[in-house]
Amino acid sequence: MGEPQPILEPLTPAAIFVVVTIDEGGEETVRNLLADINGLRRSIGFRVPGAGLTCITSIGSAAWDRLFAGHKPAELHDFPGFTGARHTAPATPGDVLFHLKAESHDACFELAMTIADRLAGAATIVDETVGFRYFEQRDLLGFVDGTENPEGRAATAAALIGDEDPNFAGGSYVIVQKYTHRLADWRALPVEEQQQVIGRTKLADVELSDDDKPANSHVAINTLIDPDGSQLQILRANMPFGSVADGEFGTYYIAYAATPSVTERMLSRMFLGTDRAAYDRILDFSVAVTGTSFFTPTIDFLDNLPSAPWEPTQLAPPGGEADPPSPSGTPPNSTTGALGIGTLKRSSRS
Ligand code: HEM
């Protein structure tokens, strides 16, 4: 298994989520950034001792085809979207996701700024969400979020690809969704009823008993048991975000999994319901405004990117030059790989 990106690292007080789409012809610049991203993270992280800056970089399905020749992760596909009778999870654009985490915002911000500089003219930032820790890892509904995440070996099994896709072992599938909360409606509910919506107690964060937990509670809907009795799990790293000026109060949902099918099953249950519930009651108070799927390759993959689709194939026919396919919009002389940290390309903005 290649070395995974820091998916299993614990949550931090600060996070920034940046989603970009790649402009036509921007592929080479994006590839160069992917190859340099770990070096950039290291040089910024080293300047902020104790910040523990990490960056997890993930790539969408259509972008994969534009950036890389060769193998593709077996289950990489676009976010399907879910339309229930009452609530909808839209699919929204996104080619690359940068999930930045640190003990302090400055470290995340410096790396986000560097990423934006490097991508200027080559990619468009379609979403930037600044997440923050809210008390004891609570969401803005006031409940502790993340308690039942798997730990240790269970976390590795839930989040990282193993032998089932050997070319991509150590990788992961990640789904992000931005939710905004109807906070006034939520606050109007007595705490007792809020607990029925979530399926846990609010202050002490204890799961309600099976008798007390409604079938449409968030915890009941998202407890997936396989026929063999084992629980299907994902690794969530949600963060609150918001703006008092805009009256926006949200949860940035992000979950890593060895297969996107587990998260998609959970979403199907939340939005389309189960045989015992019409939909997840949390959706009466939380509106999904984005939804995008990505693949998180290993660090080794980023350090040694496969050839680009427009590059000549390694095996040119004897005596003849390979005739590289040249998709429209790709730069004509785009044959270089990483620029290397010592020779960073200067963007026009810097
Ligand atoms: C508005 C967005 C969301 C909020 C505020 C939220 C909040 C919570 C809270 C407070 C818990 C209970 C504590 C815990 O174990 O973490 C929880 C559990 C959970 N949530 Fe969410 N969640 C959201 C969206 C989602 C989505 C979209 C999924 C899956 C696609 C999901 C999957 C889960 C799972 C698997 C659990 C653990 C269930 C268990 O084993 O007990 N959540 N969530």
Give the Cα separation of 343 and 350 in Å (integer).
14
Q: How far is the CA of 238 from the centre of ligand 1 (A)?
A: 9
Question: Which pLDDT does position 62 carry in this prediction?
Answer: 98
Question: Which pLDDT does position 313 carry in this prediction?
Answer: 63
**Segment (H or E) for 196:** helix 191-198
Question: Which pLDDT does position 1 carry in this prediction?
Answer: 86
Number of Cβ atoms within 10 Å of the Cβ of 327:
13
Q: How far is the CA of 298 from the centre of ligand 1 (A)?
A: 26
Residue 106 three-state SS:
helix
Around ligand 1, the residues with Cβ closer than 6 Å are 139, 141, 143-148, 177, 179, 198, 200, 218-219, 222-223, 234, 251, 253, 263, 266-267, 270, 282, 286
Q: Which residue of 219, 261, 281 sits with most ligand 1 atoms within 8 Å of its CB, as the best mutation to test the pocket? A: 219
Give pLDDT tens digits for 67-79: 999 999 999 999 9
Give the Cα separation of 130 and 107 in Å (integer).
13
Whether residue 323 is predicted with pLDDT greater than 80 in this model: the reply is: no
Give pLDDT tens digits for 140-189: 999 999 999 999 999 999 999 999 999 999 999 999 999 999 999 999 99
Q: What is the DSSP letter of 283?
A: G
Amino acid residing at 129 = T
Determine which residue's CA is closest to atom 31 belonging to ligand 1: 222
Q: How far is the CA of 219 from the centre of ligand 1 (A)?
A: 7
Q: How far is the CA of 208 from the centre of ligand 1 (A)?
A: 14
Give the Cα separation of 189 and 271 in Å (integer).
22
Determine which residue's CA is closest to atom 9 belonging to ligand 1: 145
Residue from 142, 145, 149, 239 nearest 193 by CA: 142
Q: What is the pTM of this model?
A: 0.91
State the closest ligand 1 atom to the C-alpha of 233, by its place in the atom list counted from 1. 35
Active site residue 226: no
Q: How far is the CA of 212 from the centre of ligand 1 (A)?
A: 18
Residues 208 and 195 sit within 8 Å (Cβ to Cβ): yes
Determine which residue's CA is closest to atom 23 belonging to ligand 1: 253
Question: Which pLDDT does position 318 carry in this prediction?
Answer: 55
Nearest-10 crossing angle of helices 27-47, 105-119 = 150
- Lowest model confidence (mean pLDDT) among 81-95, 252-266, 299-313: 299-313
Cβ contacts of 103 within 8 Å, gap of 6 or more:
12, 13, 14, 50, 51, 52
Percent of the residues in the chain that have a pLDDT greater than 90, as a whole number: 88
Percent of the residues in the chain that have a pLDDT greater than 70, as a whole number: 89
Residue 283: phi, psi to the nearest 5?
-75, -15
Mean pLDDT of 241-264: 98
Give pLDDT tens digits for 33-47: 999 999 999 999 999
Report which of residues 287 and 320 the model is more confident about: 287
Give pLDDT tens digits for 210-226: 999 999 999 999 999 99
3-state secondary structure 289-336: CCCEEEEECCHHHHHCCCCCCCCCCCCCCCCCCCCCCCCCCCCCCCCC
- Given 95, 127, 139, 145, the catalytic residue: 145
Determine which residue's CA is closest to atom 25 belonging to ligand 1: 253
Give pLDDT tens digits for 190-206: 999 999 999 999 999 99
Give pLDDT tens digits for 11-20: 999 999 999 9
Question: Which pLDDT does position 317 carry in this prediction?
Answer: 55
Determine which residue's CA is closest to atom 7 belonging to ligand 1: 145
Q: What are the tokens at 121? A: 């003219």
Give pLDDT tens digits for 107-145: 999 999 999 999 999 999 999 999 999 999 999 999 999
Question: Which pLDDT does position 34 carry in this prediction?
Answer: 98
Q: How far is the CA of 299 from the centre of ligand 1 (A)?
A: 28
Determine which residue's CA is closest to atom 17 belonging to ligand 1: 145
Give the chain's mean pLDDT.
92
Mean pLDDT of 244-270: 98
Residue from 247, 224, 347, 263 nearest 79 by CA: 263
State the closest ligand 1 atom to the C-alpha of 89, by its place in the atom list counted from 1. 27
Residues 77 and 278 sit within 8 Å (Cβ to Cβ): no
Question: Which pLDDT does position 280 carry in this prediction?
Answer: 99
